[in-house]
Amino acid sequence: MWTDDRLLPGYRACAWQVADAAAVDGEPDEPLTATLVRRNEPEHDRALLYVHGWNDYFFQTHLADYWNRRGFDFYAIDLRRYGRNLRPGLFAGYITSLDDYASELDEAYRLIGEDGHDLITLMGHSTGGLIASLWAAQTDRPMKGMLTGPITILQWSFVRDDQPESVTARQVALALRDEVLDLEAAGLPIVQVDEPALREGLPLRRRDWDGYLAWATEAFRLAVSGVRDDTQIHTHLCYAEFGDVLPAIDRLDADVISLENARSGDETLRTLAEYGYAREVGPGVYDIHSPVIPDDAFILEKLRVFRRHLADAQIWVNPDCGLKTRTWAEVLPALRALVAAVQRLRAELGKAGQD
């Protein structure tokens, strides 16, 4: 039940007893509680849930104001033995496993859903970020982990010059290999290792290209080759003369490549088809660097062009690149149009409901 928050004027709070929690020796024998705080009555389509850090609780109203101005209903949870739930005699912040907070986040998620939200962004500060990540990892929805690849790390960093770049690339790849395996062990069925700077790293002298591409592709494979056969490896490449490096892209042995493509007509697609590229491809269907919001008819026409050059089983449907340059007001309708275009094409082809 929502009541006026006792700490922040104008805010509302909902407290509940944590069913799977109990006092420990030395604490008063009374129920432990958690509390969800919200800034205002629901008014937006989207919600954000904030999880505080160690020795903390929610009081940062400027944070709530910030997200509200950006179109989010703001919620924050005070976990057991913190803030609004810390009573005399309780051991502040005591917990034996961060996984124990799962039931509190489950209930917070349910309460936010009761307010009409099914699109909830999770945000954590300090230890709250770890708690939130551990909780999110328990989802049964498919998730994809993303890392920057060894060659792009080299190209976009100040690299040591006391050894060949090929040696440094392998060292970075071995470090990334541990990250890739950790993501797989956490249950992620897809791991994306991006190499947008693969072509960017080509030496000035063409005679040196083959040597560079040999160790560059080796470093990528070293980073990802430890995964199981059923773990899918993706990579992403930015705009480039893909024809210069297409054999090397093929040697990356990635299951799926996503390519910036929206402003290149069908040139990239023709290059892939002429080469005989047989792996799966996600050519960008719209330009994320533009504020123009595509409609489903625009994206549908793009998909028809894709089908002239690629087999249906090869095609992934995605935007050009990352979406951080766009606002939510631009991103959400564009992604809805993307989904609608796929549904329309599947209906035309009699493939409704297929992956």
- Going through the chain in order, the beta strands assigned E by DSSP cover 3-4, 12-17, 33-38, 46-51, 72-78, 120-124, 144-148, 190-194, 232-237, 256-259, 280-283
pLDDT at 20: 86
User: How does DSSP assign 11-27, residue by residue?
Assistant: -EEEEEE-TT----TTS
- Give the model's pLDDT for residue 131: 94
| Residue among 117, 236, 289, 309 flagged as catalytic | 289
Query: Token pair 């719209």 is at which residue?
Result: 286
Q: What is the pLDDT along the chain (355 residues), one digit of tens a residue?
A: 899 999 999 999 999 999 988 889 999 999 999 999 999 899 998 999 999 999 999 999 999 999 999 999 999 999 999 999 999 999 999 999 999 999 999 999 999 999 999 889 999 999 999 999 889 888 777 778 899 999 999 999 999 999 999 999 999 999 999 999 999 998 889 999 999 999 999 999 999 999 999 999 999 999 999 999 999 999 998 877 888 899 999 999 999 999 988 888 788 899 999 999 999 999 999 999 899 999 999 999 999 999 999 999 999 999 998 887 888 789 989 999 999 999 999 999 986 555 5
Q: In this structure, are residues 203 and 154 in contact, taking their beta carbons and an 8 Å threshold?
A: no
Q: Which residues pair with 121 in a beta bridge?
A: 48
Give buried/exposed letters for 267-284 (b at 16+ CB in 10 A, else e): ebbebbeeeebeebbbbb
Closest CA to 222 of 276, 287, 159, 177: 177
| Domains along the sequence of the chain with CATH | 3-136 (3.40.50.1820), 144-349 (3.20.20.210)
Q: Is-contact 266 274, C-beta < 8 A? A: no
289 is catalytic: yes
Structure tokens at 294: 């595509």
